[in-house]
Structures are given as C-alpha cells and as structure tokens.
Structure 1
Amino acid sequence: MGKKRLEDALQKVNQPVEVVFRSFELDPTMEKEVNMSIHEKLAQKYGMSIEQAKMNARNVEQMAQTVGLEFRFDKMILTNTFDAHRLAMFAKEHGKMHEMTERLLKAYYTEGKHIGDHATLVELAQEVGFDSEEVTTLLAGDDMSNLVRSDEKEAAELGITSIPFFLINRKYAITGAQSEEAFIEAIEQITTQDGPFTNIKDGVLCDENGCEIPKK
C-alpha cells in the first residue's frame, strides 16, 4: 500500500525520481512451509484473538481498496521469502526489478501464491519474461544471496525494523503506508531544504506509522 501511494504521489510532483527496491525480510527465521494462517500468526505476534486479527486484516483490505489494490489475507501463504528476494535481485541485474517485484507482491497479497516455492517463482519469472531454466538454476544455487544479505545488513545498520520504509537521499526516513498527500508534502519539503534530488531508495519489502523529516 505504501508503494502504491508513493507511486501515485510521484505522478503529481515535478521531480526526476529514481525508485530502487531493497531486500528486507520481516522474519528471516520463517520456514518455507508454515502450518499457520496469517491470522493465527498475527494473533500470536500481537497477543490478540483470531477474530481480532481477522478484523484488523479486513480493515487493511478495505484501506487497500481505496488505492486500487486487492488484498486477500484469507488466501495468503506464509513462507520464507529469501528466494523471492534473490529472484528480485536477479531481475534487477536484467533491468526488470520493478516488474518482478510487482508480480511477486500481487502473487502474495492478492492471488495467494506460495512465493517460497521454487516452481511458483519460476512460473512468475516466466510471466515477467525470464527463461525458466535460467531461473531454475538460479534458485537451485545461492546466486544473489550476497546481494540480499548486503541489503539486509545495511537495513540493520540504519536501524530499520519494519516495512514499508522509505529512505530519501539517505537522510530522510518515511515509515509506514503514509497517505499520498504525506508523500507529496515530504518530497516538496525535502526539495525545498536540499534542492532537487535524483533518487529515492525504497527499502521494501509491513508495519506502520509516522513520517520523520529531520531539520537541517
């Protein structure tokens, strides 16, 4: 949702902006096969009932609809996403990271696909235009692992613990799925303070809150 609101905001500001996705795992210890629903996981993590978790999920689904997204928490399959991040890094080297990331997000949040499963990842990569054998070989080895770990190490050094997290000019942090208006205001304020900038680094890969624009 934060990604979509940022994209909508960028359509309304007269700035040359480059968006770069970064790897970030909310739970690197997650197993590839998880015998637990997203509602059970949220209830466990936040100490709430399953019904409360479902209600919160429905609220997020309704918020997503307001920006043209369809989230289906009832279909989401929990899994380890490390290989999905490796695939995104592979796509980055071929100039298709945005397309691959978009496809992975839709597969997970909307279609309920198992994005920890290699066969599923190969299928998604094919849809973006990659050769199935090349992607199968990639996933069978450890290529791109060092790049994913490098991003995660940098995130830890920057104190990033949740997503979405947006880092602008490596100085300004915007956390959470802020409104389109908040992104526009932040970008305009930063431009006023720093002058025109050339890139925004989006440290994706889901928690909330706050917009922090440090003063000079």
Structure 2
Amino acid sequence: MEKQKISVKYWSDIACPYCYIGATRMKKAMETVGLDSNDLEMKAFQLNPQAPLKTNASMLDQLALSHAISREQAQGMFTQIEEMGAVDGLQLNPSGAIPTNTMSAHRLIKWAQSIGDKETVSRLITRLYKVYFEDNDSIADYKVLLKAVKEVGLPSQEAINVLTSTEYEIEVQKDLLAAQQNNVQSVPFFVLNDKYVFSGAQPYEQIVAALQRVMKEAEESE
C-alpha cells in the first residue's frame, strides 16, 4: 500500500543543534503515522551568515562570549542540549563544535537535492549534522565535506566542482529570502502542507499529533 503524502518542510541550519534534534523527531514521527521520512524537505537558513571559514574558537567559547557568561555556565547550557539529544539517540557534543560558515554545506545540500534521490539527500543532511555536532569537524572544510559526500555515495568530482565555484548559492539565497518573507526568526521552523507551522524541537508526541491532524484534513478534502 502506497504511503500517504503531505508536504513537510523545515528551515534549518547545520549549525543548529535543535534543528538536528527536531529533524530526528520529525522523521520518527513521520514514520509512525505512515509517511515517508525521506519526504522531509530541508530549506536553508543561516544563524550566522558572517561566520568565518576558519577559526580557533569552539562553540563553547563563542556561546560564553556572545552571552557574557562563564565557560562553566555555557557548558551547563550545552549539557542540557546533550541530554535532550540523548533521548532521541543522538550523541551530541555541541561545546566542541567548530563555529564555521555553513554556506558551502547548504550549497552541497542544494546540489544533492537536484541530482540525488530523497533517501541519499536525507543521509547527506544527517551526515553533515553529525560532522558538526558529533565529529566536531569544520563544516567549511572542503575535505570534510567531500568525505561526507563520498560516504553517502554521491559523485565526488561533481561535489568538488560545486564547492570550488559559487554554484547553488542562488538557490540557498532563495531559501533565506523565503525565510524572511515567512517571518522565520528561529529554527527549526516546520511547515506542514504549506498551511500549519511550528518552530523548535517540539516533543515527539506533539509532532505526531500535528501530523495526524494534517493528514486527516488532507484525506477529508479529497
């Protein structure tokens, strides 16, 4: 029996731990209600478009500095995120993440969406989240990105061509503009059937309930 389909998309930045957690919960919820989790469509968002390509700072340093708090206080905030992710089986280490620019990663995702099947795209996005929050490698490092591309089975040479150009930057900018037009101020920002929206890494049970309501409405309108 073919799975029912509804539109599920979300704005996200690879540098957002709540996006990783929220996307994980959404995929689980989609499978629970009989939807294909590979249909979850990611839209690009940048929390810090001015983030550098290289830095010696860690996410812990950046959080402490930006919030004018001690490293101990910052670590306490990250520990809460780690515990939150652990509930969903994620082994996050946000304090050790390298806060570099995510534009190249977003361009790669756009490229993958244009040539790959949805399952491969989904695996690439998940791998990039892991690069950032579990491996603590630089998401702006081309070698790191190409390794992720190879691991999910996408063509390396094409990826090199994308990374060493400005290809797919326009597609990323379109997502960023759409976020502004939709008043997206924080991510993850989910949109169900282009009608219902919610932001943040909501509890799994609430996501299931929201999906069920949308699916019921879509079924009744047929």
TM-score range, shorter chain: 0.7 to 0.9
Unmatched 5+ stretches in structure 2: 1-20
Matched, 1:45 2:69: no
Runs of 4+ off more than 3 Å: 14-17
Question: Superposition RMSD on alpha carbons, in Å?
Answer: 1.7
Q: How far apart, CA to CA, are the structure 2 residues paired with 1:101 and 1:15?
A: 19
Aligned in 2, Cα 1:67/1:128: closer, same or farther, shift over 3 Å?
same
Matched, 1:8 2:31: no
Letter in structure 1 aligned against 2:97: M
3-state SS of paired residue (1:174): strand
Larger CA deviation: 66-75 vs 145-154: 66-75
3-state SS of paired residue (2:41): strand
Number of residue pairs the alignment of both structures matches: 196
- Out of 90, 103, 113, the position equivalent to 1:69 is 90
1:48-105 Cα shifts (integer Å, max 9, x gaps) = 2221110110111011111101101243111000000001111111223212111111
> What percentage of residue pairs aligned between the two structures are identical?
29
Q: Taking structure 1 as the reference length, what is the TM-score of the superposition?
A: 0.84
1:141-183 Cα shifts (integer Å, max 9, x gaps) = 1111111111111011111122111111222111111111010
Q: Taking structure 2 as the reference length, what is the TM-score of the superposition?
A: 0.82
Contact in 2 for aligned 1:15/1:196 (Cα 8 Å): no
Q: How far apart, CA to CA, are the structure 1 residues paired with 2:209 and 2:93?
A: 30
Contact in 1 for aligned 2:60/2:96 (Cα 8 Å): no
- Out of 47, 50, 60, the position equivalent to 1:26 is 47
Q: Which residue of 2 aligns with 1:208?
A: none
Letter in structure 2 aligned against 1:112: N
Bigger share in helix: 2
3-state SS of paired residue (1:21): strand
